[in-house]
Amino acid sequence: MSIASLALKSLRNRKTTAVLTIFSIAVSVALLLGVERVRVEAKNSFTSTISGTDLIVGARSSSINLLLYSVFHIGNATNNITWQTYEELSSNPAVAWTVPIALGDSHQGYRVVGTTQGMFDHYRYANDQSLSFKSGAAFDDLYDAVIGSEVALALGYSVGQPITLSHGVEATSLQEHDDKPFVISGILEPTGTPMDRVIMISLEGIEALHIDWVSGAPPIPGFTISADRTRQMDLQPTSITAYFVGLKSRVAAFRYQRMINDYRQEALSAILPGVALQELWRLVGSAEKALLAVSVMVVLAGLIGMLTTILTSLNERRREMAILRSVGARPGHIFALMVSESLIYAIAGTALGFALQYGLLFAVQPSLQKYFGFYLAITAPGAVEWLIASIVIGSATILGIIPAWRAYRNSLADGLTVRL
């Protein structure tokens, strides 16, 4: 009878303990593989928050600050870009399209983004996915608003519902634009990007909100301009916060970026969004490392549990070992038997861990995409997964040497001695 066959029969005699040990290793492996998969997909999703955009242009500041307020809508711009400058720079022959944005207002803590129809045509995220509507359509009227999926879910809004925007970005604003209510024209599908948490209106809508404001102060009572009268006025923006750029050729990206950075009329910065996203991920990536470290510790705990189980059973199995020695098994066979049992634990636990991980992925993937816009790709195990499996099996085999060595040292006389 081979050593492997003998090890399987031995484990079958202790099947309850064996199954629990294998399951504990499987849960540890599934957790480690799951964290690794989520970490990779989260990084891919983060670095693909915006795609298809060659450059982002804003007032001069650091690349991360420009990225935060223009894409993630966190923080504020150091300055605005005049409309005249925007028109001059966007008319450059190298430019294929531009999408301007204007920030400054909010609604119950969610940022209001003034933009154009180009946002729905050119904005891309993840693998070149465009914005799509869960219901309704893009803004068409001056007082139309498009809201992200998270805004709709959190506030219970639907298409056709009127909303009042607030001046400033605080959750509780003292200045309400209640004289110019907007109506929700569309709700976006979840994207897993900051677009889920914004309210988009037209640039003219931003101008309409502040048409009767003077130097940032609200209108004096009696001097307000009604919403209907505002429609008859010139609402061309005087400034914007930033704009996204798509170039006819990516080869021209560095030349256009240099032109923006050297622009003398205004202090501007142009950043490559992919590079800035990588820089930002390196800053926030410490959390993923901590999570990965916790998962590794869980796997170690599972392997130590396996070691404890085998060591604990050694005393109970001394008689079994002695009988094996009496029928011709040499100490080397006993050593190989114990190592084989550790190997079987590790292989079975790792295989079950893979099965648990994929079962969990198939179970949660639709919900993650539907409610959070987070697409969790389910693919065949890659090099990292196989490396993890190899490390787990190798570690278990090495740990198995400890009880194997102790069993090897047990003498035949010790095993056959009847203890009273």
Q: What is the pLDDT of residue 136?
A: 93
Question: Do the Cβ atoms of 282 and 47 come closer than 8 Å?
Answer: no
Clarify whether residues 119 and 249 are in a common domain: yes
Higher pLDDT, 290 or 143: 143
> How many domains is the chain built from?
2
Q: What is the pLDDT of residue 375?
A: 67
DSSP string, 141-184: STTEEEE-HHHHHHHT--TT-EE--EESS-SS-S-B-TTS-EEE
Rounded to the nearest integer, the mean pLDDT of the chain is 84
> Which two tokens mark 383?
């090099």
Q: Give the pLDDT confidence of 253-273 residue by residue, as tens digits.
A: 999 999 999 998 899 999 998
Clarify whether residues 300 and 323 are in a common domain: yes
Clarify whether residues 19 and 82 are in a common domain: no
Which of 271, 293, 308 lies at the terminal end of a domain, its last residue? 271
Question: Do the Cβ atoms of 49 and 197 come closer than 8 Å?
Answer: no
Residue 327 has pLDDT above 70, yes or no: yes
Q: Give the pLDDT confidence of 100-157 residue by residue, as tens digits.
A: 999 988 898 899 999 999 999 999 887 788 899 999 999 999 999 999 998 998 899 9
Q: What is the pLDDT of residue 39?
A: 77
Q: Give the pLDDT confidence of 362-417 residue by residue, as tens digits.
A: 888 777 766 665 667 778 888 888 888 898 888 888 888 888 888 777 655 555 55
Which of 271, 300, 315 lies at the terminal end of a domain, its last residue? 271
Mean pLDDT, range 229-245, rounded to an integer: 91
Higher pLDDT, 418 or 120: 120
Mean pLDDT, range 347-373, rounded to an integer: 83
SS3 of the chain: CCHHHHHHHHHHHCHHHHHHHHHHHHHHHHHHHHHHHHHHHHHHHHHCCCECCCEEEEECCCHHHHHHHHHHCCCCCCCCEEHHHHHHHHCCCCEEEEEEEEEEEEECCEEEEEECCHHHHHCEECCCEECCEEEECCCCCCCEEEECHHHHHHHCCCCCCEECCEECCCCCCCCECCCCCEEEEEEECCCCCHHHHEEEEEHHHHHHHCCCCECCECCCCCCCCCHHHHCCCCCCCCEECEEEEEECCHHHHHHHHHHHHCCCCCCEEEECHHHHHHHHHHHHCHHHHHHHHHHHHHHHHHHHHHHHHHHHHHHHCHHHHHHHHHCCCCHHHHHHHHHHHHHHHHHHHHHHHHHHHHHHHHHHHHHHHHHHCCCCCCCCCCHHHHHHHHHHHHHHHHHHHHHHHHHHHCCHHHHHCCCC
Residue 249 has pLDDT above 60, yes or no: yes
**pLDDT-based confidence at residue 217 (cuts at 50, 70, 90):** confident
Name the residue with tokens 């070691």. 307
Q: What is the pTM of this model?
A: 0.70
| H helix or E strand, kind and range, residue 84 | helix 83-90
Instruction: State the DSSP code for 220.
Output: P
CA distance 5 to 290: 41
Clarify whether residues 72 and 16 are in a common domain: no
Residue 77 has pLDDT above 90, yes or no: no
Which of 217, 250, 271 lies at the terminal end of a domain, its last residue? 271
> Which two tokens mark 34?
């799951």
Of the candidates 271, 312, 225, 280, which has an alpha carbon nearest to the alpha carbon of residue 46? 280
Q: Is residue 418 part of a domain?
A: no
**pLDDT-based confidence at residue 283 (cuts at 50, 70, 90):** confident
Clarify whether residues 126 and 35 are in a common domain: no
Q: Give the pLDDT confidence of 1-24 residue by residue, as tens digits.
A: 677 788 888 788 888 888 888 888
Clarify whether residues 254 and 350 are in a common domain: no
Q: Is residue 298 part of a domain?
A: yes
Q: Is residue 328 part of a domain?
A: yes
Clarify whether residues 198 and 313 are in a common domain: no
- CA 256 vs. chain centroid, Å, equals 31
Clarify whether residues 240 and 369 are in a common domain: no
Q: Is residue 243 part of a domain?
A: yes
Instruction: State the DSSP code for 217.
Output: B
Mean pLDDT, range 41-62, rounded to an integer: 84
Q: Is residue 42 part of a domain?
A: yes
Residue 95 has pLDDT above 90, yes or no: yes
CA distance 384 to 259: 42
Clarify whether residues 240 and 143 are in a common domain: yes
Clarify whether residues 60 and 41 are in a common domain: no
Q: Is residue 276 part of a domain?
A: no
> Which two tokens mark 8?
């399987």
Q: What is the pLDDT of residue 285?
A: 67
Clarify whether residues 242 and 334 are in a common domain: no
Q: Which residues touch 12 (CB under 8 Å, ≥6 apart)?
A: 18
Domain with 30, as residue range(s), is: 3-47+284-413
Mean pLDDT, range 245-250, rounded to an integer: 90
Q: What is the pLDDT of residue 420?
A: 45
Q: Is residue 419 part of a domain?
A: no
For the chain, give the percent of residues with pLDDT over 90.
29
For the chain, give the percent of residues with pLDDT over 70.
93
Q: What is the pLDDT of residue 148?
A: 93
Q: Is residue 277 part of a domain?
A: no
Mean pLDDT, range 18-44, rounded to an integer: 83
Mean pLDDT, range 78-84, rounded to an integer: 91
Clarify whether residues 31 and 155 are in a common domain: no
CA distance 49 to 127: 10
Q: 94-98, 285-289, 342-346 — which is least confidently predicted? A: 285-289
